Amino acid sequence: MQNKRKSKSDISAVMITLAGFALLLIFVIVMLNNAAETSWKEARQAAEDSVIRAVVSCYAYEGVYPDNIEYLIENYNLVIDEQKYLIHYEKMADNLMPNIIIMDRGKRMLYETQL
């Protein structure tokens, strides 16, 4: 009779330990996912900041907004990972901030800025 009680308590201890490990594993997976999401958002924000900084620099130096992103790449040293991001650039007038949409090629539209 004592062996049965001991084996039941051993099984309970093993089950509690397994449940604890499962919860720890879930916690680690969630935290890694959050870290990856934060890193992705920071990279997108850096790309957006680079484009806006180049657009504003062009306007400050030349008095007009550039016609396209290629002009910024060639003349203002804008560097964008074209395999990672797709940039839609729509100029409306020489003195109006262009409509800039940054999209991740692997995800949906990320951000649209209209200043």
Q: What is the pLDDT of residue 23?
A: 92
pLDDT at 112 (0 to 100): 46
User: pTM (2 decimals)?
Assistant: 0.66
For residue 96, the 8-state DSSP code is S
Which two three-digit tokens encode residue 92? Answer: 């409306």
The domain in which residue 84 lies consists of: 2-113
First to last CA, the chain: 79
Report the half-sphere exposure of 53 (CA within 13 A, side-chain side): 11
Quick one: tokens of 111? 């951000």
Q: Which residues of the chain have pLDDT under 70?
A: 1-6, 107-115
Backbone phi and psi for residue 53, each to the nearest 5 degrees, phi listed first: -60, -40
Structure tokens at 4: 């049965």
Nearest to 59 by CA among 102, 110, 115, 101: 115
Give the chain's domain count: 1
